[in-house]
Amino acid sequence: MEPLHNKTYHFSAISIKTGIAARFRKFSKKVGRSHSEALESMMNFFEWNDISPNASLGPNMTSMENRLKKRINALVAIIKNIEKNQTKPTNAMLELLFQEDKGRSNDNQEEIIFEAPPLITENEELEYYRKQYDQMREQFQLVKTDLQRLCDAIVFVKGSFGSGYLKLQMTLEEFKNYINTTPYVHHHNKTKNGR
């Protein structure tokens, strides 16, 4: 029969300062059964958490806890604000609507009768669209003749420096009269400052 503890350990000596060794002994009594277990658990902690023992961990736990509490309080305030300004008024409006709906009696409601619109014959419909088409053709012809008149009044003037330009051979009075007589120009209204 074999003994229960068949493991063999190989030990190695490390030189440590006396004060640090005493401190480590107290620490290892709290953490593990032996100095080896305490040292191994410390090394595992640093390796698993990817922390360097020389690096600073930043703010201590109480300041982190205070910061988290402040953020949680801010979130609670935001949620209360949303509830106060959005959810409760909407809920109150919906409740009022449903209360009014429940308060109505079916006897008081008038029955709404939807009447069929008067029917239009095909001839009437064709006549309507024909009139619209004729009006559009008339307006198109007016625009076409006005544009032709304007194009006929335009002359090319060759510039002495650089390229030439187009000139409208019409007096200012003729041009204003032309604009005022055109029925399809909708920008005759002046702005408040007169421009």
DSSP assignment of 134-194:
HHHHHHHHHHHHHHHHHHHTEEEE--SSSS-EEEE---HHHHHHHHHH-TT-------TT-
Find where tokens 């736990």 sit. Answer: 61
> With 90 as the cut, is the pLDDT of residue 137 above it?
yes
> With 90 as the cut, is the pLDDT of residue 177 above it?
no
Give 131's pLDDT tier (boundaries 50, 70, 90).
Answer: very high
Between 58 and 45, whose confidence is greater?
45
pLDDT score at 49:
77
Q: Are 166 and 158 in contact (CB under 8 A)?
A: no
Q: What DSSP line would sit under 6-64, residue for residue?
A: ------------HHHHHHHHHHHHHH-SSHHHHHHHHHHHHHHTT--TTS---S-HHHH
Q: What is the mean pLDDT of the chain?
A: 80
Tokens of 23: 């401190």
pLDDT score at 132:
93
Handedness of CA 167, 173, 174, 176 (dihedral sign): positive
DSSP annotation of 87:
I
DSSP annotation of 107:
T
Q: Are 30 and 41 in contact (CB under 8 A)?
A: no
> Which three-class secondary structure state does DSSP give residue 117?
coil
Read off the pTM. Answer: 0.33
